[in-house]
Structure 1
Amino acid sequence: MTIKTGLMAAALLMLAGCNAPSQHAAVETCKADNQMQQTTLYFGLNRPAGAQITGNEWQQFVDQDVTPRFRDGLTVFDARGQWLGNDGKVAREPSKALMLIHGKDAQSEKNIEALRGIYKSRFAQESVMRVDQPVCVQF
């Protein structure tokens, strides 16, 4: 075995013992006061009839419906949804993503589901995607 081959084998053996830290490990080492939930909601901006939800309509929804339910703050960012339709064609939709950091409690859950329902009803949407994950938050 050459020195180069031996070094390569040793490096591979050392790397085999390395694990990437999981997200749960970060939350498990997080102080109890810093443990929160992150919920990101994805809102499509196309209406079934073809017109888009306007910037003013979106902002009114955030100001009148979201902010009163999440007074401590929120983050909104632009997104672009894309998928392959049943007809085999690529479909795209401009979207908004709403990130909420909150406690894992019944009131937050109720507020999030209320927002999803309001948006679907007001803007004739089929769904509002929701993604939840535990996070460790420090200010």
Structure 2
Amino acid sequence: MKTPALLAALVAVALTGCAATHPAPQAPYPPKAAETVAPAAPVLACKTGNLMMQTTLYFGLSRHNAAPVSKAQWQWFVDKDVTPRFKDGLSVFDAKGQWLRSEGVVIKENSKALMLIRADNAQEQKKITEIRDIYKQRFKQDSVMQVDNPACVDF
């Protein structure tokens, strides 16, 4: 009776050396975008003023097969389309845009940067989307870049 149990134990020990071990699967490096976990956003507390959103929009002035957007056209857009939506004020800066096309050509473009200090809510974002869409349609632009940052604001 002892022999079959001893034989089974010997066979089990012998077979454990035959089992192939595979290294644990490694995550790809760098991780794919879908696998990247975004860190939690830090909570911003203002020492002075109120927490608001600072939005900067970048408007290219060059156009395909047309003259660049003129100073008068730009000012009309700001006066008639932007200011009525953002009555509390805004700032406009001259900017120089630059990027590299896929064929290796550097493209440079005069631009305008428009900065808004606003509440961070859907109603304000809707107004920003409207002015971006108006500009793209009116001046045949592919895009208007939007950059948002929280800001502590005091007047």
Q: Structure 2: how far apart are the matches of 1:105 and 1:88?
A: 40
Q: Which residue of 2 aligns with 1:85?
A: 101
Identity of aligned residues (%): 58
After superposing on structure 2, the runs of 4+ consecutive aligned residues of structure 1 that deviate more than 2 Å are none
Q: Structure 2: how far apart are the matches of 1:39 and 1:57?
A: 22
- Aligned residue among 43, 49, 70 for 2:59: 43
Larger Rg belongs to: 2
Residue 114, structure 1, aligned to residue 130, structure 2:
yes
Q: Higher helix fraction: Structure 1 or Structure 2?
A: 1
Q: Which residue of 1 aligns with 2:86?
A: 70
- Aligned residue among 112, 121, 131 for 1:96: 112
Q: Structure 2: how far apart are the matches of 1:113 and 1:56?
A: 23
Give the CA deviation at 1:138.
1.0
- Root-mean-square deviation (CA, aligned residues, Å) is 1.7
- Taking structure 1 as the reference length, the TM-score comes to 0.78
Give the CA deviation at 1:61.
0.1
- Taking structure 2 as the reference length, the TM-score comes to 0.70
Q: Which residue of 2 aligns with 1:123?
A: 139
Give the CA deviation at 1:28.
2.3
Could you list the runs of 5+ residues in structure 2 that have no partner in the other structure?
1-40
Q: Which residue of 2 aligns with 1:134?
A: 150
Count of equivalent residues: 115
Q: Structure 2: how far apart are the matches of 1:125 and 1:53?
A: 11
- Aligned residue among 46, 49, 67 for 1:30: 46
